[in-house]
Structure 1
Amino acid sequence: MKNCLFGFLMLFTVMASQAQNDTIKRNNFGKNEIKINSFFLLLGVFEPSYERNLSEQSSVGVSAFIPFDRENIDMDINYYISPYYRIFFGEKYAAGFFLEGFGMLNSIDHQYYVNRNNYTEIKDNAVTDFALGFGLGGKWMTSGGFVFEVNGGIGRNLFNTNTEDDNNILVGKFGFNLGYRF
């Protein structure tokens, strides 16, 4: 009887110490992340992101797309600001495979042609629009708090899409983000 009681007490002690370690690990993670899209930075675009982890399985964030080197890249987009919500399916805290829903306020250069007396003139016009979309990706985190993320998504502009030659109905976002969780 003493052996059974001693064995039960040892088992309970081991389980309790394991539970304490899990709680410490789970609460040790920060809830804020700052990231930058390293791929776009090489192309001449600054895209920072801020993300707040709400729970183990969800987070909200916002990213901004700001081109700074227009001479070396051929892009129609002037800027975008994109808030998003993510649901994670990994076993780590706010990491692993995720699905994302996003909104995007964007400004796109729209070119159109004007015909006047057998002369065709090309005009530029900046069109501001709002898109809704979805995406997916994966997030990995080191024990030191550094974050690596790969994501991609597609959305549809909701306004200013009534012209026949408009090829800016769909918007995309993707990235190879590097950052830090604190």
Structure 2
Amino acid sequence: MKKLPLITLIFSLISIISFSQETETQISEKENFNELKLNGLFLIAGSFEVTYERTINEESGVGFSVFLPFDEEVKDDVNYYISPYYRFYFGKKYAAGFFIEGFGMLNSVNEFIFNSNLNDFEKKSITDFALGIGVGGKWVTNNGFVGELNLGFGRNLFNDYSNTDLKFVGKIGITLGYRF
């Protein structure tokens, strides 16, 4: 008879300990994270793209990218872009792995139009908004460092371009960052 209360006490302690461990794990898995990332590919090409992302849950996140060129050759084509996005993740880790994204892009580009009176090209700055889709992959270390590869395409919606290349926008990145 004395063994029954002792066995009950041991099972109660084991279940309390295991329940508290599950609760701590569940809380840490449900935290939302912030990420700051820098596109290394664009740094090499002569521009600066920084991205902020906020995870919503283990399968999705929202964020935005800001692109600013500092090299004169890049400035001849693109002035800037601001691109908000939504991502859906398919990985096993929290908001990581393969993803698909939908994005918008407010962009300003330069179009060169031939002026027959001057016998030269005129530079015309055009601001437009594009919608697009993309795919990629994100890897996160246990310490919070983030590596990401992404590729996306979209189409400008509002302007009539004489240069058909400017109707379309692209996003490409090899980004490194930190999750906190």
Q: What TM-score, normalized by structure 1, do the two folds share? A: 0.84
Q: Secondary structure at the match of 1:168?
A: helix
Taking only aligned residues, the RMSD between alpha carbons, in angstroms, comes to 2.7
2:100 is equivalent to residue 102 of structure 1:
no
Q: Which runs of 5+ in 2 are unaligned?
A: 1-7
Contact 2:69 2:75 in 1 (8 A): no
Contact 2:32 2:57 in 1 (8 A): no
**Counterpart in the other structure of 2:177:** 179
Q: Secondary structure at the match of 2:165?
A: coil
The residue type paired with residue 138 of structure 1 is: G
Instruction: Give CA-to-partner distance per residue, 1:20-73, whole Å, 9 cap, x none.
Output: 46325515x6510000001111121110000001111111001011001225x5
Question: Residue 31 of structure 1 is aligned with which of 25, 33, 57?
Answer: 33
Instruction: Give CA-to-partner distance per residue, 1:128-172, whole Å, 9 cap, x none.
Output: 110000001000000101000100100000011253x33201100
**Counterpart in the other structure of 1:85:** 86
Contact 1:32 1:52 in 2 (8 A): yes
Distance (whole Å) between structure 2 residues aligned to residue 97 and residue 149 of structure 1: 10
Contact 2:161 2:167 in 1 (8 A): no
The residue type paired with residue 22 of structure 1 is: T
Percent identity among equivalent residues? 50
**Counterpart in the other structure of 1:150:** 149
> Which structure has greater helix proportion?
2
Structure 1 ranges of 4+ moved more than 3 A: 8-18
Shift of 1:115: 1.5
Contact 1:30 1:181 in 2 (8 A): no
How many residues get paired? 176
After superposition, residues 157-168 of structure 1 pair within 5 angstroms as 157-163=156-162, 165-168=163-166
Q: What TM-score, normalized by structure 2, do the two folds share? A: 0.85
Q: Which runs of 5+ in 1 are unaligned?
A: none
**Counterpart in the other structure of 1:44:** 46
